[in-house]
Amino acid sequence: MAKKLFQIIFYNLFIFIVMILLVEVIFGGWFKKDNFGAYFREHRMKKVPYSIKYNDKQYDFSYIRNYHGFIGKEIDPSKIHTVFIGGSTADERWKPRNLSIVEQLNNNFKNDLKDIRIINAGIEGQSTIGYIANFQFWFPKLKNFKPKYFIFYTGVNDLLRQDYNTYDYSDGYAKLIEKNKNERLKDELKSKSFFYDASRKIKHKYYVREKKTFMDLDKSMKKYSNSKYAKKLLKNKPYNYLVFNKAMENSNMDKLIKKEKEFTEFFLKNIDILAINSKKYSAVPIFVNQTTAYGAHEKRHLALNFALKKHCIKKKYVCIDFANSFDGKLEYWYDGVHTTPLGSKVIADKIYFHLKKIIN
């Protein structure tokens, strides 16, 4: 009797396992070309609650990335008109969506009665290396993805890369794959599993963790202005923003470009790769340069923006040189790089002035 019972349990368990495997093989991503694999898993189906304090007001919101990896609600990739690509300065997870640069741009289009919506593809930490990785490992996986424009908000994270002339898609400036091989294998299996993917969809739709990540932007703004780096860069003088066009007028740019030749040439090489990749989608690449809380005090950034401006003219790229005449104020940043809601609004308005002439 016990033997017969064991056989029944064994055969039922065997059939159950076979059925599970069949479902995985048929419906999973094991043999699908559009499966993300080990790449990009951490940037899909995210819903993280945040709480920030700004101007003595508290904002509670959720940072959401949809099934296809874009910031915000679900959207069919075939319906995406314009994509905004950048690092954390585009990602802007530390503020409610409506206060981000991208949503301020969308709001401006809406106010001008233009039926245009920009979709945010920003990934915290990405440099131009990361943008190139997007075209290799992310965008080709999206069905019928044919945007008209790619907007590259770029410069800051390239300045931060130490080994700037290497293509390492597992470093902190590509943000698409784990460096650890064991973790990479786990991501591969998780991404391809039908049941794991289905469970994540359900969790993404219905579950939000209670614990919120809190950040006090008011405190961060005060702390930044007294940081050692800011004092060193400003030579212990009170905060003053150096406008790029004024710095260019008062600097020997030929000498500076010569000094930063290797760095700027590698950056411009990446710009060319991004232009080529955009045109494979029959899309227009738009390059938008960046500024920081310091403006042109950072000489390498001055060289970078100057080189990009000349390169755009030479290659006839569509570029928005908003940083050239931008006059920053301390209240625009909560640290040396990332903008407060006010800073995002001001920058969005400056970019929109040029963008609305380009995008139809």
pLDDT in tens, the chain (360 residues): 666 776 677 667 777 777 766 666 666 666 666 666 656 667 888 889 999 999 999 999 999 999 899 999 999 999 999 999 999 999 999 999 999 999 999 999 999 988 999 999 999 989 999 899 899 889 998 999 999 999 999 999 999 876 766 666 655 455 666 666 777 677 766 767 766 776 666 765 666 666 788 988 988 888 887 777 777 777 888 888 999 999 999 999 999 999 999 999 999 999 999 999 999 999 999 999 999 998 999 999 999 999 999 999 999 999 999 999 999 999 999 988 999 999 999 999 999 999 999 987
N-term to C-term CA, the chain: 77
Asked if 65 contacts 124 with a C-beta cutoff of 8 angstroms, the reply is no
Indicate the SS3 state at residue 54: strand
pLDDT attached to residue 339: 95
R_g of the chain computed on alpha carbons: 23
Q: Is 183 helix (H, G, I), strand (E, B) or coil?
A: helix
pLDDT score at 205: 65
User: Which residue pairs, CB below 8 angstroms and at least 24 apart, start in 247-254?
Assistant: 247/295, 247/296, 247/302, 248/296, 248/302, 248/306, 251/302, 253/303, 253/306
Cα distances (angstroms) measured from residue 294 to each of 9, 124, 126, 166, 335: 70, 21, 21, 27, 10
Which two three-digit tokens encode residue 335? Answer: 């640290």
Helix H, strand E, coil C: the string for 197-237 is HHHHHHHHHHCCCCCCEEEEHHHHHHHHHCCHHHHHHCCCC
Distances (CA, A) of 118 to 45, 100, 139, 281: 19, 12, 16, 17
pTM of model > 0.85:
yes
Structure tokens at 172: 């902190």
User: Which CATH code fits 80-171+221-358?
Assistant: 3.40.50.1110
Q: Which SS3 state, helix, strand or coil, does residue 66 take?
A: coil
Note the pLDDT of residue 225.
Answer: 75
What integer pLDDT is reported at residue 146 of this predicted model? 96
Domain edges within the chain: 1-31, 80-171+221-358
